[in-house]
Structure 1
């Protein structure tokens, strides 16, 4: 994982719309999300972190024992479910209306010996009772294809991704 983050690691609190931890208070202009948006985490305590996006979003990260935080594994699963939902959203909305309701449950047991999730299951809870059998099958096929084609998180997990870890220190970079 490479970070383009400044070396300043202060942990002063910030409001949405300012750069966290830079000490500059520089306003961030609203923009549409892009693949180059800056993301980073800052340590807030023993094994606890806050994740930030340049757009002002925050998420608390830590072990389950810390309470109202997400574990990294939970964030992975939520990212997968959210991506599947976003990928299938247009197809469902086109057929069911913009106000359709869906809950996507996501689960996967951790293989403790390998320290990974060998399988993650997404289960869509969505009411398709207004559709006849043919329409329901067509819609589910469209949704499944959209997820397979456009869910970046799912495609990344399925294909595997290389992860590069770099350690930056003041005065230089250590690899």
Structure 2
């Protein structure tokens, strides 16, 4: 048994998913957002959610820097691609691309923007920091307190 205390789920530190079918869940948070998770049409796989989490953590962290350089109404997409180690069932690398129209910027302005974007992401992207540090992951098997006891 681990000496590490159990983390108590709160609105700030947790999300949950409810099983809706075979290999299908609906993920939820305390603000009422939902996402379909699974392997079928219209569902995100857990790996895709991880990629989206990293991509949007980067872009949200840098959004104010991009808006200052490109204007508040700038259009952008963020893409996250991976290479996968099939033998170990894990990703070896992630590449995040912030795609926007940077043509109005000089080479010098683009270099400054890159520095500022990198700094903003380095300060604020929790997902990126987490992936870089390989956090401890624990699985607990917990009895549902509302379940009827077996007869």
What TM-score does the superposition give when structure 1 sets the normalisation length?
Answer: 0.74
Match of 1:108 in 2: 82
Paired residue secondary structure (2:79): strand
The structural deviation recorded for 1:82 is 0.5
The structural deviation recorded for 1:92 is 0.9
Match of 1:133 in 2: 107
Residue 59 (structure 1) aligned with residue 35 (structure 2): yes
Structure 1 residue ranges (4+ consecutive) displaced by more than 4 angstroms after TM superposition: none
Q: After the TM superposition, which residues 1-150 of structure 1 pair with which residues of structure 2 at under 5 Å, given as runs?
A: 4=9, 35-36=12-13, 38-63=14-39, 66-150=40-124
Cα-Cα RMSD: 1.9
Unaligned runs of 5+ in 1: 6-33
Unaligned runs of 5+ in 2: 1-5, 146-151
The structural deviation recorded for 1:2 is 5.4
Maintained 8 Å contact 1:2/1:165 = no
The structural deviation recorded for 1:122 is 0.6
Relative to 1, partners in 2 of residues 1:68 and 1:170: Cα closer, same or farther, differing over 3 Å?
Answer: closer
Q: Find the aligned partners of 1:164 and 1:125 in 2 and give their Cα distance.
A: 36
Q: Deviations over 1:53-86 (max 9, x none)?
A: 11100000012xx111000000000000000000
Q: Find the aligned partners of 1:145 and 1:168 in 2 and give their Cα distance.
A: 41
Q: Find the aligned partners of 2:7 and 2:44 in 1 and give their Cα distance.
A: 22
| Alignment size in residue pairs | 140
Q: Find the aligned partners of 2:28 and 2:55 in 1 and give their Cα distance.
A: 20
Higher relative strand content = 2
The structural deviation recorded for 1:170 is 4.2
